[in-house]
Amino acid sequence: MSITLRDTVLTYPDGDTRLRALDNVTFAVERSELVAVTGPSGSGKSSLLAVAGLLTVPDSGTVVVDGVDTTGLSRAQRTTLRRERLGFVFQQSNLLASLTATEQLLMMTHLGGGRVRAQRERARDLLSGLGLGSHLDKRPNQLSGGQRQRVAIARSLMNDPSVLLVDEPTSALDEARSREIVGLLATLARERDVAIVMVTHDLAQLDLVDEVYEMHSGVLTRNASTAAA
């Protein structure tokens, strides 16, 4: 398994009590699998991604990334693991307005001068592979919403992650563009052997994913009926 959560509990302070954002969540995704997590607003979906992405430490339970049990790791160790093994794509593509598509990807690298050329080549290859070969030097305001999301996806792949965590990637896109993006994620999972967890409200695209989970008040359930064979 690339990412495993076991009996994970996450609470937030809520007046005199605590709110259970994740209520004993157990969940595992393998390499080359695309899994969708649906559920109403406020049900805990982003909390799930934050815990899986080592951004938030759960109150209890276990998070294993690529075989590494993260329980008890220091903040620095978590950051290193996150940089090396995890990729993120957010609802809004979070691109920097002043940078070209290629530069958005180069922002992800923390390398010295000698390897800049190789990284630039990698950035171009990734963007071209996602259909942006003629947009390498475009800035976000010169790209459509779907193209910006592709740049964000390409950026998330720069470090060759084992796990990609994607929060509502299609919320700003029309139906056809949404389908392209989810189809693209399904292809990437298989071709790049990456485990993808995608939070989505977009029920129309669930036939493209391997597995569907539903979150309700912090409780995650596998939905056998909608998952593809």
Site residues (vs ligand ADP, CB under 6 A): 12, 19, 21, 39, 41-47
- Does 170 sit near Mg ion (CB under 5 A)? no
Type and span of the H or E element at 24: strand 17-29
Stretch that binds Mg ion, among 6-14, 45-53, 114-122, 185-193 (CB under 5 A): 45-53
In the complex with ligand ADP, the residue whose CB is nearer, 47 or 147, is 47
DSSP H or E stretch at residue 166: strand 163-167
- Cβ proximity to ligand ADP: between 39 and 169 the closer is 39
Assign 3-state DSSP to the chain and report helix, strand, coil percentages, each to 5: 35, 25, 35
| From candidates 38, 46, 102, 205, binder to Mg ion by CB under 5 A | 46
Quick one: 104 or 205, whose CB is closer to ligand ADP? 205
Sheet holding 3-14, edge to edge: 17-29, 3-14, 60-65, 68-69
Contact call for residues 136 and 127 (beta carbons, < 8 A): yes
Residue 100's binding partner among ligand ADP, Mg ion, none (Cβ under 5 to 8 angstroms by kind) is none
Residue 113 burial by Cβ neighbours in a 10 Å radius (0-12, 13-18, 19+): exposed
Phi, then psi, of 177 in degrees rounded to 5: -65, -35
> What is the nearest approach in angstroms of Mg ion to the Cβ of residue 127?
27
Of the candidate spans 10-18, 39-47, 75-83, 128-136, the one that interacts with Mg ion by CB under 5 A turns out to be 39-47
| Partner whose binding site includes residue 206, from ligand ADP, Mg ion, none (CB under 5 to 8 Å by kind) | none
Q: Which does 53 bind (CB under 5 to 8 A by kind): Mg ion, ligand ADP, none?
A: none
CB under 5 to 8 A by kind: which of Mg ion, ligand ADP, none does 94 bind? none
Residues recorded for the chain: 229
